[in-house]
Amino acid sequence: MLGRNAKDKAIVEMWATRMEMNFFLPVGMAFRNISGFFKDRENPVKEWGEECLKNAQKMYGFLDKHLANSEYIAGDHFSVADITALCTVDFSKVIKLGIGEDQKNLQRWYDAVSSRPSASA
């Protein structure tokens, strides 16, 4: 899940970081600033949340294109990058963001990784 050799480990780390910084973080910031869930603890900035939502939407398109040539996020093997991306896709449903009907590659990937036994644990 973390790579098999030095090069593979570097690729997995690169993609895991991309999923954290460019996908999970925008989804989380959109939730924090749009949902109202944190309004009793902080000052949500709706405009920032909307910008983060746009960035998360862009990642859906980016991932769909990437997965046209890759079985999994970081290559041919399931990795921690897939786990982060799967959790992000699932969490993004709370901000009403999801895989578009035209994003067939992303949907294929999502169906495959979400059907793994560990995904239902």
- Residues 92-104 have pLDDT tens digits of 999 999 999 999 9
> Is the pLDDT confidence value at 87 over 70?
yes
Quick one: 40 exposed, middle or buried, by C-beta within 10 A (0-12, 13-18, 19+)? exposed
Tally the domains of the chain.
1
87 in a structural domain: yes
Over residues 56-81, the mean pLDDT reads 95
pLDDT at 9: 82
Which amino acid would we find at residue 112? A
Over residues 16-43, the mean pLDDT reads 92
Domain holding 88: CATH number?
Answer: 1.20.1050.10
33 in a structural domain: yes
72 in a structural domain: yes
98 in a structural domain: yes
Q: Which range of residues forms the domain containing residue 25? A: 6-120
Which pTM value belongs to this model?
A: 0.89
Report how far Cα 84 is from the mean position of its chain's Cα atoms. 6
27 in a structural domain: yes
42 in a structural domain: yes
